[in-house]
C-alpha cells in the first residue's frame, strides 16, 4: 500500500486572537546542527517563508502571517510539517512533533494517527475524504486533498468536480492546479491513445527520439527511471531483465529513459546494473511534462502502430501483460 509519508510529519497550529505574529522555537540535544540554516517553506508553492540559523543548540524566529499555510522545515534527515499561523510553535527536533497545539493541529494529528494505523488503502482514502469534507474552507482540508489525490485513482473529471465546489483555499492552490494539469496529460496519453514523441540531446551531441524505437521490432517497453530511485533499480534488476532475456529480438524492443537525474549518476548506475538494452539519458522533465507521471518507475508499453497499450504496471503484472501481448 502506498504510504502517506507526509503524515509522518507533525502538524500544529497555535491560535492568537489579537495578532498575526508567529514564533517558532526548537532545541537540539547537541551542537551538531549549530551553524545550519533552517528554511520554513510553503508546502503548497515551495516559496521560502522564513529562515533561521541554529546557534547554541537551538533556534528561534519570529514573523507575521495573515493566512495560515501548511509549512515544512527540513531538520537533518527529517522533514517537519506543520500549520504556520499566529502563535507560538514549539518543535521537537527529536521526533518532529509540535507542542502547544490548537484546534486544527488536533484535527491533523488525529488524521495522521488514524492514517498511519490504517491497514489498507481504502481506509486511508476514506479518512482523507472525510477530513476534506469536514475542513473544506481551511488548510487542513487542502492538506487532506493533497494526499487523497496522490493515492486515489482519480480522473480529470473527478478533480474538476471537486474544484467546482471548492473554497478559495483549494481553488487557489498551486499544487491542486498542478494535479489537474497532470490528470489532463494522463487522459491525453492514456491507454488506447497514440504516443507523443519527444527528443532529447545526448552526451555525444545527437538527438534521441522516442520515435526512433517505436515500431522497430514489435512492441516497445519504455521504462522511465532515475539512478537515485531504489524501486527503479529493483525493477531493472528483476522484471525488466526477465522480459529482456525472454523476448529480446523476438518482436519486443526495450528502452530505458533516465529522468530527473544527473547525467554522471545515470551513466554510473546504468553501468553497475549492466543494462543491456537501449537507453536515452538526461531526459529530465521532458517525458513527464508530456505524459503527466509524477512518480517512477513508470513503465509504458507502446504497440507497433504507436498505440499506448499499457501504463504504470510493474513486477509480475508487467510480466503478465507482456506475456499476453507477445502471445497474440
Q: What confidence tens digit (pLDDT) does each residue in 40-50 have?
A: 999 999 999 99
**What local confidence, expressed as pLDDT, does residue 153 receive?**
73
**What local confidence, expressed as pLDDT, does residue 1 receive?**
43
Q: Given its phi and psi angles, is residue 163 left (phi above 0), alpha (psi -120 to 50 degrees) or beta?
A: alpha
Mean of the pLDDT values across residues 15-33? Answer: 80
Nearest to 281 by CA among 302, 262, 300: 262
- CB distance 148 to 128 below 8 Å: yes
Cell of 253: 524492443
Radius of gyration of the chain, Cα coordinates, nearest whole angstrom: 23
31 CB contacts (<8 Å, ≥6 apart)?
56, 57
Across 91-100, 134-143, 160-169, least confident range: 91-100
Across 84-93, 102-111, 265-274, least confident range: 102-111
**What local confidence, expressed as pLDDT, does residue 160 receive?**
82
Examine the pLDDT at 3 and tell me if it is beyond 60: no
- CB distance 124 to 118 below 8 Å: yes
Distances (CA, A) of 232 to 153, 202, 224, 277, 297: 22, 21, 8, 15, 5
Mean of the pLDDT values across residues 120-126? Answer: 92
Examine the pLDDT at 186 and tell me if it is beyond 80: yes
Nearest to 2 by CA among 129, 153, 214, 106: 153
Query: pLDDT class for 101, splitting at 50, 70, 90?
Result: low
Q: Read off the DSSP letter of residue 307.
A: B
The more confidently predicted of residues 77 and 327 is: 327
Cell of 89: 510553535
Examine the pLDDT at 275 and tell me if it is beyond 90: yes
List, in order of start, the domains of the chain with CATH numbers: 5-105 (2.60.40), 117-188 (no CATH), 199-326 (3.40.30.10)
Percent of the chain residues past pLDDT 70, beyond the cut: 93
Mean of the pLDDT values across residues 65-85? Answer: 89
**Beta-sheet pairing, 69-75 with 98-99:** unpaired
- CB distance 296 to 226 below 8 Å: yes
C-alpha 60: how far from chain center:
31
Q: Could you read off the pLDDT of 142-158 as tens digits, one per residue?
A: 989 988 887 887 777 88
Question: Which DSSP string do the residues of 48-72 spell out, in sequence order?
Answer: EEEEEE-BTTEEEEEEE-SS-EEEE
Percent of the chain residues past pLDDT 90, beyond the cut: 65
Examine the pLDDT at 313 and tell me if it is beyond 70: yes
**What local confidence, expressed as pLDDT, does residue 14 receive?**
34
| Whole-number Å distance between alpha carbons of 48 and 15 | 22
**What local confidence, expressed as pLDDT, does residue 12 receive?**
36
**What local confidence, expressed as pLDDT, does residue 17 receive?**
42
**Cβ neighbours around 220 below 10 Å, total:** 23
C-alpha 47: how far from chain center:
17
Examine the pLDDT at 119 and tell me if it is beyond 80: yes
Q: What is the mean pLDDT of the chain?
A: 89
C-alpha 212: how far from chain center:
29
Mean of the pLDDT values across residues 207-220? Answer: 96
| Whole-number Å distance between alpha carbons of 255 and 257 | 6
Amino acid at each position: 500500500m502506498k504510504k502517506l509519508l507526509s503524515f509522518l510529519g507533525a502538524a500544529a497550529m497555535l491560535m492568537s486572537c489579537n495578532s498575526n505574529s508567529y514564533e517558532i522555537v526548537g532545541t537540539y540535544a547537541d551542537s551538531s546542527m549549530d551553524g545550519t540554516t533552517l528554511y520554513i517553506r510553503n508546502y503548497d508553492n515551495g516559496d521560502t517563508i522564513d529562515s533561521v540559523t541554529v546557534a547554541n543548540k537551538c533556534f528561534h524566529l519570529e514573523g507575521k502571517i495573515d493566512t495560515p499555510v501548511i509549512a515544512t522545515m527540513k531538520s537533518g534527515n527529517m522533514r517537519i510539517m506543520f500549520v504556520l499561523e499566529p502563535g507560538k510553535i514549539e518543535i521537537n527536533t527529536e521526533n518532529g512533533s509540535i507542542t502547544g497545539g490548537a484546534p486544527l493541529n488536533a484535527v491533523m494529528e488525529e488524521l495522521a494517527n488514524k492514517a498511519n494505523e490504517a491497514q489498507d488503502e481504502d481506509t486511508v482514502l476514506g479518512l482523507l475524504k472525510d477530513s476534506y469534507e469536514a475542513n473544506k474552507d481551511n488548510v487542513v482540508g487542502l492538506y487532506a486533498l493533497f494526499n487523497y489525490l496522490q493515492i486515489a485513482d482519480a480522473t480529470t473529471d473527478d478533480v474538476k468536480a471537486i474544484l467546482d465546489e471548492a473554497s478559495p483555499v483549494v481553488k487557489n492552490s498551486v499544487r491542486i492546479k498542478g494535479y489537474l494539469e497532470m490528470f489532463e496529460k494522463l487522459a491525453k496519453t492514456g491507454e488506447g491513445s497514440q504516443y507523443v514523441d519527444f527528443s532529447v540531446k545526448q552526451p555525444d551531441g545527437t538527438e534521441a527520439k522516442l520515435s526512433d524505437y517505436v515500431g522497430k521490432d514489435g512492441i516497445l517497453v519504455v521504462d522511465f527511471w532515475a539512478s537515485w530511485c531504489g524501486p527503479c533499480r529493483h525493477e531493472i534488476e528483476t522484471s525488466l531483465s526477465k522480459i529482456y532475456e525472454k523476448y529480446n529480438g523476438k518482436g519486443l524492443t526495450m528502452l530505458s529513459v533516465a529522468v530527473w537525474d544527473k547525467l554522471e549518476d545515470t551513466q554510473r548506475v546504468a553501468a553497475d546494473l549492466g543494462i543491456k538494452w537501449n537507453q536515452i539519458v538526461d531526459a529530465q522533465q521532458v517525458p513527464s511534462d508530456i505524459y503527466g507521471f509524477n512518480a517512477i518507475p513508470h513503465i509504458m508499453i507502446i504497440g507497433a502502430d504507436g498505440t499506448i497499450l499499457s501504463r504504470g504496471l510493474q513486477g509480475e503484472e508487467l510480466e503478465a501483460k507482456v506475456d499476453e501481448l507477445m502471445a497474440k
